[in-house]
Structures are given as structure tokens and as C-alpha cells.
Amino acid sequence: MELFLMSLTTGIMVGGIYALIALGWVLIYKCSGVLNLAMGELTLIGAYVSLSFYSMGVPFLLALLFSLIIGFILGILTERIFLDRLIGEPVLTVIMVTVGLSFFFKGIVELIWGTDTRVFTPPVFPLEPIRIGPLIIGQVYLWSFVASLVLLCIFVCFFKYTRWGLAMQATADDEMAALSLGVSARFVYATAWAIAFMAAGVGGTLLGNINGLNISVGYLGLLVLPAVVLGGLNSIPGAIVGGIIIGVLQNMCGAYLDKYFPGGVKEVAPFAFMAIFLLFKPYGLWGWERIERV
């Protein structure tokens, strides 16, 4: 029971970070219908930017703020330079461009920061674990979960109560109607990429505090894809719930199955679950079902 509770608790906390990264996937898909396959590299860039500022002696919260600002700028530039001319082009074309961006960003990261594992020194969060009854919870997991929840709440409020957020939702629901009301599609797409950069960067920074930071963190960004599919590709609440479910599933498989099937069941399980889940719910838990009438 103690192993079960610890796996469940850790899974929920890591799942909160996955939910934050999943938000970036959902934003871009909602606004443009494009599956951004460079999300893992966005996660990587934001994490390394935060680490660079922190290594210079900048306090962690300030380094995180600088990372958000730089992520916003990079998101705008990426959309303007690489994707703005593709508005109205076939979706497959844009998806292939994001594949190219994935390799391009990975090369930039390896060129600037190398491939060796780096850690936040001194540690950002206290190393002494918190004991709650039989549970032993690392503070890095707890505070990373709290940080991801705070940022998720900020993003949800942004979409619900601000003019920019409402414009993005309007464009996602009906692009032609939004355009007729004066909403700029170019502005919406650029903002979506900017927020995706920011969310992924913060998620990568929190993951880097848990496991250290190297090029494989980009894979963790891709690991969020099952969470996005599970919740529904265009559902923000679905991204949050899907992230937590995948976090719990991953930790449960690591606790109970890795000893019988050594070699990475923990990493494979989310994708196997996604494949089976899609057989029964092709649109995810809260995805929009598209019905075409002839």
C-alpha cells in the first residue's frame, strides 16, 4: 500500500508538469489544426535558458521569468519566420515544417549547450523530503507541482477573462466568424506559439530540476503526446486531466512492471495505452467530434 500511495502521489505531481507542457500542444492545435512535433525541443530550449540564467547567479524565480520572456519572443519569431507564410496551406505541409524545426532546434541546443547532463547548482529546492504519514515526498516534486498548478491557473484565466484569450478561443471555434469580427488570425497564431514556448519552457525547467537536464528532456516533451491525445487534442481541461493520468500511469508501471520487464516499460506504457485508448475513443475524452455532411 505504501508503494502504491507513493507511486500515485509522485505520478500526480509529475503529471501536473506534463499538463503544463500539454497545454502548448493543445494551444497550437486548437488555433491552427497543426500537431506541433517540435514541442520536445521547445521544452528543451526553455529549460536550458533558465539553467543559463540560474548558473549566472540569477535567483531561480527571476531566471524563470526571464525564460518566460525569452520564450514569448522566440515563439513570436518562430511563427513569423517559419510559419506565417504557410497560413492556408495543407496541414500536412505545416506539420512537416514542425518536424524540420525539431531537428533545427535540437542542433542549436547541442551547439550552444552540448549534450552532457547538467544540474541546477546549488539545488533550487531543498533536498530534505517531506514526510506525511507513511509517504515520503521529495520537495522538488511538491514545489514543481505547485508551480505548474499556479501557471495552469494563470493560463486558464488568460483564456477566459482577457481579450486576447477570448480572441484565440473564437478563432479556434470558428476561424471565418472570428475573421469577420476583426480578429487577426496572424496575431492569434503568433500568440499561440509564444504561449506554447512559455509553457513548454517552464515544464522543461521543472523536469530538469527533478532528473537533471540533457538532450533527452526533449523526449519527455514528446512523452506528453499521449496525455494530449487522451484528453482531446483541442481541450484545455483535457490536457490537464490527461497529463495527470499519464503521470500516474507511468509511475505505476515503473513501480510494478519494471521489475518483471526491465528495459523501459515506464517509457513505453503511455504510448501503448494511447494506442489502445484510441480504438475506443478516437477523439479523446473531451475532443471535438467532426461530422461532415454531404
Q: Which domain holds residue 146?
A: 2-280
pTM listed for this prediction: 0.86
State the pLDDT at residue 62: 93
Residue 191 domain-assigned (yes or no)? yes
Residue 12 domain-assigned (yes or no)? yes
Which residues of the chain, if any, have pLDDT below 50? none
State the pLDDT at residue 240: 85
SS3 118: strand
Q: What's the number of domains the chain is made of?
A: 1
The torsion defined by the Cα of 33, 35, 38 and 43, in degrees rounded to 10, comes to 90
User: What gap in Å lies between CA 55 and CA 49, rounded to an integer?
Assistant: 10
Which three cell numbers, joined as nine digits, stand for 25? 500542444
Q: What is the pLDDT of residues 25-66, one digit of tens each?
A: 888 887 777 788 888 888 889 899 999 999 998 999 899 899
> In 10 A of CB 231, how many CB atoms?
28
CATH number of the domain enclosing 48: 1.10.3470
Residue 288 domain-assigned (yes or no)? no
Q: What is the pLDDT of residues 78-90, one digit of tens each?
A: 888 888 877 767 7
Phi, psi of 57 (to 5 degrees): 100, 5
Residue 115 domain-assigned (yes or no)? yes
Residue 217 domain-assigned (yes or no)? yes
Residue 289 domain-assigned (yes or no)? no
Phi, psi of 138 (to 5 degrees): -65, 135
State the pLDDT at residue 127: 78
Residue 287 domain-assigned (yes or no)? no
Which three cell numbers, joined as nine digits, stand for 141? 516534486
State the pLDDT at residue 238: 84
Residues in CB range of 229: below 8 A, 6 or more apart: 242, 274, 277, 278, 284
Residue 14 domain-assigned (yes or no)? yes
State the pLDDT at residue 59: 92
User: What gap in Å lies between CA 26 and CA 233, rounded to an integer?
Assistant: 6
CB contact at 8 A, 54 and 124? yes
State the pLDDT at residue 94: 84
User: What gap in Å lies between CA 115 and CA 108, rounded to an integer?
Assistant: 11
